[in-house]
């Protein structure tokens, strides 16, 4: 058994006690993930990755159940969890932080949600998702202005947390 494997087991057994211990120090970090790996312990799927925020790196462990999204290297995430050491966190939630533009690939924290789960960082990129049909884009946006059609609106501008 490798050292890192033993470490994972220790972390995960700590994790089980965390739920009953309210004295734990919690933290929320926004950063970029790298080195994502998946492992199983006690038949539970878990992920480990490095989250880099403001030049500092944290080793993050999270159970798959507590992770709302698929994890990808280079993506931005907001994690909340329990501090194990200064550089190690067991996350109780992992959420995406901002979105990657489906047109130009730019990461952004505010932009357009377009139709079938697509993201655009700017009006220009949003129109490209409409194959350049600006009129169709504006028509869809206008649905929001009318109470009767607002619920049907699939394209809108928003801020990602």
Question: Considering beta carbons, is residue 87 or 124 the nearer one to Zn ion?
Answer: 124
CB of 63 to Zn ion, least distance (A): 33
Question: Considering beta carbons, is residue 96 or 106 the nearer one to Zn ion?
Answer: 106
CB of 125 to Zn ion, least distance (A): 3
Question: Considering beta carbons, is residue 51 or 125 the nearer one to Zn ion?
Answer: 125
CB of 113 to Zn ion, least distance (A): 13
Q: CA-CA distance, 41 to 132, in Å (whole number)?
A: 49
Question: Considering beta carbons, is residue 94 or 114 the nearer one to Zn ion?
Answer: 114
- Helices (runs of H) and strands (runs of E) counted in the chain: 4, 10
Interface residue list for Zn ion (CB under 5 A): 101, 103-104, 106, 121, 125
**What single string gives the DSSP state of each residue in 57-101?**
EEEEEEEGGGB-S---TT-EEEEEEEEEETTEEEEEEEEE-SEE-
CB 128 within 8 A of CB 117: no
CB of 110 to Zn ion, least distance (A): 12
Q: Which residues contact 100 (CB under 8 A, 6 or more apart)?
A: 75, 106, 107, 119
The enclosing H or E element of 46 equals strand 44-53
């Amino acid at each position: 058994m490798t050292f890192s494997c033993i470490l994972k087991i220790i972390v995960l057994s700590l994790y089980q006690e965390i739920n009953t211990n309210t004295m734990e120090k919690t933290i929320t970090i926004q950063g970029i993930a790298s080195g994502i790996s998946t492992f199983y312990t006690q038949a539970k799927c878990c992920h480990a990755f490095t989250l880099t925020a403001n030049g500092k790196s944290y080793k993050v462990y999270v159970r798959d159940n507590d992770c709302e999204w698929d994890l990808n290297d280079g993506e931005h995430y907001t994690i909340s969890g329990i501090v194990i050491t200064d550089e190690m966190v067991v996350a109780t939630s992992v959420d995406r932080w901002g979105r990657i533009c489906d047109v130009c690939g730019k990461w952004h924290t505010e932009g357009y949600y377009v139709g079938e789960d697509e993201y655009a960082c700017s009006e220009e990129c949003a129109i490209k998702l409409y194959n350049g049909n600006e009129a169709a884009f504006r028509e869809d946006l206008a649905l929001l202005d009318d109470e009767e059609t607002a619920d049907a609106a699939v394209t809108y501008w928003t801020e990602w947390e």
